[in-house]
Chain A
Amino acid sequence: MKQSERIQISDGSVVDQGFTQQVIQLTGEEVMSCFQCMKCTNGCPLAPEMDVPPNKAIRYVQLGMRDAALAADSIWICATCYTCTVRCPNDIDIAHVMDTLRRMAYQSQGDATTKSHIVHFHELFLKSLKEYGRVNETKLLAKYELREGRFLKDAKLGMKMFFMGKMNIFPQKIQNKEQIEKIFERASKRKG
C-alpha cells in the first residue's frame, strides 16, 4: 500500500487518503457506494447515544477522515445488532465496518478513548477465555467491577444472581487448554 498522505483541510480536520483504501481492504466492503440514504442511522437503536452515527462513520471513511472516525465513541457503543447491515440498499455490511474501525482504533490507540471501560471489559473477557478456554462470568464480573471501581453498585445484583444459582464460583476449564493458548499466541502475531 502506498504511503498515506495526510492533508489538513479548511475546517482543520485531517484527511488521510490511505485510510479509505485500508478500510476497504480490511473489510472487503464497497463503502464508496454509500449515497447517504441514512437507513442505517434511522434504524440504529443506539443512534440517539452516538456522537458519530453509522451513516456519518461511513462518510468519514469515504473522505479519509481517519482521526475523526477512530476517535468516535460510537464505535464502542455500537451493539453489533446488524440492523444497519441488513437494511443497506447498497449491501454494505456496515456493522462489519464499525467493527473494523473499532479494531483499528484499538490497535493504534489502545484504551485511549472516553469509553475505555468497554475496552477493559473486552480485554478481561479475552483474558478469562485464554485462561480457561471458556469464560467464567463470576470471576470476569468481579475483576471488571474492581478494575472500574464500581463494586458496591452491582453488589446486590451479583449476590441475588449467585443465590439464584446463575453464577459459578469454580471456572470450567476445557481439556485442551494448550490449543486455546496456541490460538491466542498465533493470532497475536497475525495482523488484524
Chain B
Amino acid sequence: MGIQIAYFPGCSLHSTAKEYNDSIKASFGSLGVELKEVPDWNCCGATAAHSLNESLALALPARNLALAEREGLPLFAPCSACYHRFILANRKLRSDDELLLEVNELIDPLVYKGGTEVRNILEILVEDVGVKTIKKMVKRPLKGLRLVSYYGCLLTRVPHGQASDDTENPVYMDKVVEALGAEPVPWPSKMDCCGASLNLTEEAIVCRLSSHILDNAQAVDAQAVVTSCTLCQLNLDMMQSGTKPEYNHQAGLPVFYISELLALALGHDFPSGQWKKHFVDPKGVLEKEGLI
C-alpha cells in the first residue's frame, strides 16, 4: 500500500497506554502502514501548557511539527489530547505569519514552515487505508461482539472549522468496528466527556462523568467499549477497578483501544501481558466469542 507516516506516540503511549502503542505497531504493520517515529519528539505540553502559558502551548507542538516536516511526512498522533493540541497549534501557525515567525524564534534552531498535516488514528484507517481494504484483510472476524464506539471529546471538535468526521455524530469508529465484523451498537454517549485529566485533581467530577458513560453502555447491552483516546480508556477502565471506594462501578465492561481489536481481527495474537494492562480483564468476553 505504501503509506508512510511520522509517528508521534506521546508520553502516555510509553507509560499508562503502552498497550495502545503495542497494538498500533502490530496492526499497522499488518496493514502495510509504515510508522517512522518522529526523531527526538517532545511532550506536546498537554493541559498544563495551554492552561498556564500560551507560548509553550504553541512552541512545544511546533517543535514536533517541524521535526515531522523535515521527514516530509504527515504526523500521526494516536492520543486524542496530543492530536487536538497539534491541530490547534497548526491552525494558528498556518493562518498567522507573524505568529509563525515568533514561534520559530522560540524553537530555534528548528524551523517550522507550516507544511505538516496532522492525522488521528481514525482518519488514517478510514481515509488513508479505507474500510474496504481493512475488511478484506480481516482473518478473524469479531463476529457477535457488541461494541459501543466511544470517541470522547477531542477528535472532531475543531474551532472555526470542520473536522473530517461529523462533529456531533461521528461515524468513523463505527465503520471500522463494522469492517472488523463486530456490531457497532448505537448509544447516546459517543462524544460525552469522561473528565479527562481532572482524574487526578477532581475525582468526584470524573466519577460522575465516567460512570454516566458506563451506565449508558450497560443500558444498550454492550459487551465492551472501544475507544481511541488514552484518557478515555484510562478513566472508564479505572472507574471499574475497585482501587478506591469511588472507583467501584459494577459494569464489568472491558475498555479496548480500537487498535487492539484491529490487531486481533487481522490475526495478531497478543502475548498475555497485553490484557494484563487492563483493569477489567477483556479475556472473558474474547473467550466467550471464541476470539482468543
Contact = CB atoms under 8 A, between A and B. Distances in A.
Interface of A: 45-46, 49, 77, 79-83, 85-86, 91, 93, 95-96, 99-100, 102-103, 106, 115, 117-119, 121-123, 125-126, 129, 133-138, 141, 144, 153-154, 156-157, 160-161, 164-168, 172, 174-176, 179-180, 182-184, 186-188, 190, 192
A134 to B, nearest CB: 5
B193 A79 contact: yes
A82 B106 CA distance: 27
Given A93-B160, A166-B16, A186-B105, A80 B192 contact: no
B276 A165 contact: yes
A144 B158 CA distance: 31
Contacts of A86: 156-159, 167-168
Contact of A118 (B18, B160, B202): B202
Contacts of B164: none
A58 to B, nearest CB: 15
Interface of B: 11-12, 14-18, 40-43, 45-56, 59-60, 63, 84, 102, 105-110, 153-154, 156-160, 167-168, 191-193, 195-198, 200-202, 205, 209, 238, 241, 243-244, 247, 273, 276-277, 279
A172 B53 CA distance: 24
A46 to B, nearest CB: 7
A126 to B, nearest CB: 5
A157 B241 contact: yes
5 contacts: A79-B197, A126-B52, A157-B238, A167-B15, A190-B102
Given A86-B159, A118-B202, A183 B56 contact: yes
B51 to A, nearest CB: 5
A174 B51 contact: no
Contacts of A126: 45, 48-49, 52-53, 56
A144 B256 CA distance: 29
Given A49-B205, A118-B201, A166-B16, A134 B42 contact: yes
B16 A161 contact: yes
A115 B202 CA distance: 10
Contacts of A137: 11-12, 15-16
A157 B46 contact: no
A175 B38 CA distance: 13
Contacts of B60: 129, 183
A183 B50 contact: no
Contacts of B42: 129, 133-134, 174, 179-180
A174 B106 CA distance: 18
A122 B14 contact: no
Nearest to A93: B159
Contact of B55 (A85, A167, A190): A190
A49 B277 CA distance: 32
A192 B276 contact: no
Nearest to B162: A86
Contacts of B49: 126, 129
Contacts of B247: 157
Given A141-B200, A183-B107, 16 more contacts: A45-B193, A77-B198, A79-B193, A80-B47, A81-B196, A86-B159, A93-B159, A103-B52, A133-B40, A137-B15, A157-B238, A157-B241, A160-B241, A160-B279, A183-B56, A187-B55
Contacts of A133: 40, 42-43
Nearest to B157: A82
Contacts of A167: 15-16
B20 to A, nearest CB: 11
